[in-house]
């Protein structure tokens, strides 16, 4: 296979390594033969992540970014040695979990060394008394959950990508699982962690419930997307496996009614583990077999935990739904959700029909949630070539929501499909900012949102860049992400 036969998407600013053979031999000395590769097939495999437009590129004979080497370290000492070499030679390093990120976070846009963390996959200990589990950061999400379930626990963190994402990726990308309304997002679940900094120092944040010890440095590494350090270990909260589970669904006449019903349930300090509001178009797509939901907005709920509390939660959930004229659709829609919740067939089959598709999730307060929904819908639907634009709301707080848009379309004007893709992203993000929302809820920044970081953070962004310079003076850690703009748009 000749990688030169492929068109490279992100080729600008690719770092030139002076003596590739010398670096290769040093990496092999550090890692041994089997934990190193520069074979074309491995470089190709690590040229992309789960970013959906990457599937279109594969069919078009294009590759996103090309690494120079791939390594699978087994010890922290090896990682430190790799970082020493990378700093000396000014070679980018890209921490890599399972490559399921969908905003290009793990794409090696400047080339360099992919540090795949899969061999950091040990479960180190469980404390039943503290209800914690300590794992190495390369641990696969579903393996962790299965292990915990077998011992009578759950992590409460079950993203749709559980089968193909890692604990380190969750932390680095600030993930949110499907049961997040009860159990919290990764920042609520993580108690402690170990991080290797770009210059090779190892820092350990104690696994502690809370502390008042000055500015919370650990927070800097939540959502760092591999630009400030490599997470090697984490202590997470766990929970006894729920005793009872109740499945509820209601269909509403309007999106606003469904939002209000859910807002009032949370206001009662009740947190159904799963709540999902599907707008009318998504309801039609996912629940065509539910007659009561015809032309309506479907909401599914999963209440779980202590039997008596579940009953109470169910009663109040039903009461609020009825108050907003919700129509009871029984447990079938929730069972259907359970059966299909890890399916990605629509996503993986669309590129062969030359459709460009993706999802964009954002955060909103209750005050502006409906407004953001309508504003984004109006602006994106006006783009020529859009054939589908729908939304669901799947993460809830007493003070707001995480909203998730899906689009499909084709370029109808002069540009390429990739230009169309960027146009949709930039239009949606601008509409969110104009209506007072935040540009990302749980997929992170990566490449796709990096051009909007200055607008999102304002005067905070130069400060973040200064922190990056202090921690990573040679800018070797996942360059081209978060701190650098990869696309046009935003205030650039
Ligand atoms: C079908 C599908 C469904 C998804 N569902 C969800 C969902 O429900 N909730 C959700 O939050 N996300 C979801 N995602 C997005 C993605 O799965 C998450 O962002 C996940 O947390 C990424 O984990 P990963 O191990 O695959 O990381 P990768 O994609 O390998 O890496 C992601 C980023 O983290 C960095 N990184 C990885 N490991 C480390 C480490 N140990 N230390 C430092 N940096 C590191 C990488 O450099 C990169 O910037 C979904 C994606 C897909 C494709």
Give the residue from 240, 265, 288 where a domain finishes: 240
User: Is residue 165 lining ligand 1, measured as CB closer than 6 Å?
Assistant: yes
**Same domain for 17 and 104:** yes
DSSP 395: E
Is the pLDDT at 184 greater than 70? The verdict is yes
**Same domain for 165 and 187:** yes
CA of 445 from ligand 1 middle (Å) equals 11
Task: Give CA–CA dist 489/475, Å, rounded.
Answer: 23
User: Is residue 427 lining ligand 1, measured as CB closer than 6 Å?
Assistant: no
Q: Is residue 457 part of a domain?
A: no
DSSP 292: G
CA of 186 from ligand 1 middle (Å) equals 12
**What is the band of 491 on the pLDDT scale with cuts at 50, 70, 90?**
low
Q: Is residue 461 part of a domain?
A: no
Beta carbons within 8 Å of 275's beta carbon, 6+ residues apart: 181, 262, 265, 299, 300, 301, 393, 394, 396
**Same domain for 209 and 178:** yes
**What is the band of 205 on the pLDDT scale with cuts at 50, 70, 90?**
very high
Per-residue pLDDT of 31-70, as tens digits, reads: 999 999 999 999 999 999 999 999 999 999 999 999 999 9
Task: Give CA–CA dist 123/106, Å, rounded.
Answer: 24
Q: Is residue 466 part of a domain?
A: no
Based on the structure, what is the number of domains in the chain?
Answer: 4
**Structural domain range at position 180:** 123-240
**Same domain for 370 and 302:** no
Task: Give CA–CA dist 457/155, Å, rounded.
Answer: 32
Residue 455 in tokens: 């607008």
User: Is residue 106 lining ligand 1, measured as CB closer than 6 Å?
Assistant: yes
Mean pLDDT of 169-189: 98
Q: How many helices (H) and strands (E) does the chain have?
A: 17, 20
**Same domain for 365 and 297:** no
User: Is residue 449 lining ligand 1, measured as CB closer than 6 Å?
Assistant: no
Give the residue from 219, 240, 261 where a domain finishes: 240
Q: Is residue 477 part of a domain?
A: no
**What CATH number is associated with residue 426?**
3.30.300.330
User: Is residue 175 lining ligand 1, measured as CB closer than 6 Å?
Assistant: yes
Q: Is residue 459 part of a domain?
A: no
**Same domain for 104 and 46:** yes
**Same domain for 112 and 21:** yes
Q: What are phi and psi of 163, to 5 degrees?
A: -70, -20
Is the pLDDT at 492 greater than 70? The verdict is no
**Same domain for 104 and 56:** yes
Name the residue at shortest CA distance from atom 44 of ligand 1. Answer: 226
Residue entry with tokens 């299965």: 146
**Same domain for 424 and 316:** no
Give the residue from 200, 224, 240 where a domain finishes: 240
User: How far from chain centre, in Å, is Cα 322?
Assistant: 34
Per-residue pLDDT of 395-436, as tens digits, reads: 999 999 999 999 999 988 888 889 999 999 999 999 999 999
**Same domain for 334 and 278:** yes
Cβ–Cβ under 8 Å, residues 247 and 272: no
Per-residue pLDDT of 457-469, as tens digits, reads: 999 999 999 999 9
Closest ligand 1 atom to residue 95 Cα is: 47
């Amino acid at each position: 296979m000749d990688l030169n036969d492929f068109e490279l998407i992100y080729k600008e600013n690719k770092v030139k390594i002076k003596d590739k053979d010398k670096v290769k031999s040093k990496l092999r000395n550090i890692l041994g033969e089997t934990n190193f590769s520069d074979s074309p097939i491995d470089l190709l495999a690590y040229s992309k992540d789960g970013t959906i437009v990457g599937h279109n590129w594969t069919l078009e004979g294009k590759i996103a970014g090309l690494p120079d080497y791939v390594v699978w370290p087994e010890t922290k000492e090896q990682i430190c040695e790799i970082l020493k070499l990378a700093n000396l030679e000014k070679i980018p390093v890209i921490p890599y979990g399972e490559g399921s990120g969908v905003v290009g976070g793990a794409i090696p846009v400047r080339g360099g060394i992919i540090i795949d963390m899969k061999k950091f996959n040990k479960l180190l200990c469980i404390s039943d008394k503290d209800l914690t589990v300590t794992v190495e950061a390369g641990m696969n999400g579903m393996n962790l959950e299965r292990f915990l379930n077998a011992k009578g626990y759950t992590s409460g963190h079950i993203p749709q990508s559980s089968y193909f994402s890692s604990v380190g990726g969750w932390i680095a990308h600030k993930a949110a699982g499907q049961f997040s309304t009860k159990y919290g997002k990764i920042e609520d679940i993580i108690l402690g962690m170990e991080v290797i900094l770009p210059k090779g120092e190892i820092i350990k944040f104690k696994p502690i419930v809370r502390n008042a010890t000055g500015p919370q440095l650990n927070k800097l590494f939540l959502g760092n997307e591999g630009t400030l350090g490599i997470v090697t270990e984490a202590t997470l909260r766990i929970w006894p496996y729920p005793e009872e589970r109740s499945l509820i669904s209601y269909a509403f006449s309007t999106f606003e009614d469904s939002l209000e019903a859910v807002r009032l349930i949370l206001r009662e300090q009740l947190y159904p583990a799963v709540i999902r509001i599907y707008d009318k178009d998504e309801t039609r797509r996912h629940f065509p077999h539910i007659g009561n939901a015809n032309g309506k907005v479907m909401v599914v709920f999963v209440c779980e935990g202590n039997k008596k509390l579940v009953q109470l939660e169910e009663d109040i959930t039903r009461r609020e739904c009825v108050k907003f004229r919700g129509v009871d659709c029984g447990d079938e829609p929730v069972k259907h959700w359970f059966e299909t919740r890890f399916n990605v067939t629509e996503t993986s089959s669309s590129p062969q029909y030359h459709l460009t598709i993706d999802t964009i999730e954002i955060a909103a307060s209750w005050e502006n949630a409906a407004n953001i929904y309508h504003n984004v819908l109006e602006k994106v639907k006006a783009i020529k070539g859009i054939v589908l634009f729908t939304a669901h709301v799947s993460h809830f707080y007493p003070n707001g929501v995480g909203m998730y848009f899906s689009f499909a379309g084709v370029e109808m004007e002069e540009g390429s499909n990739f230009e169309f893709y960027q146009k949709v992203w930039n239009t949606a993000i601008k509409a969110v900012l104009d209506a007072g929302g935040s540009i990302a809820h749980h997929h992170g920044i990566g490449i796709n949102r990096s051009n909007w970081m200055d607008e999102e953070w304002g005067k905070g962004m130069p400060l973040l860049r200064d922190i990056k310079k202090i921690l990573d003076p040679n800018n070797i850690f996942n360059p081209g992400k978060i701190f650098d703009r990869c696309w046009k748009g935003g205030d650039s």
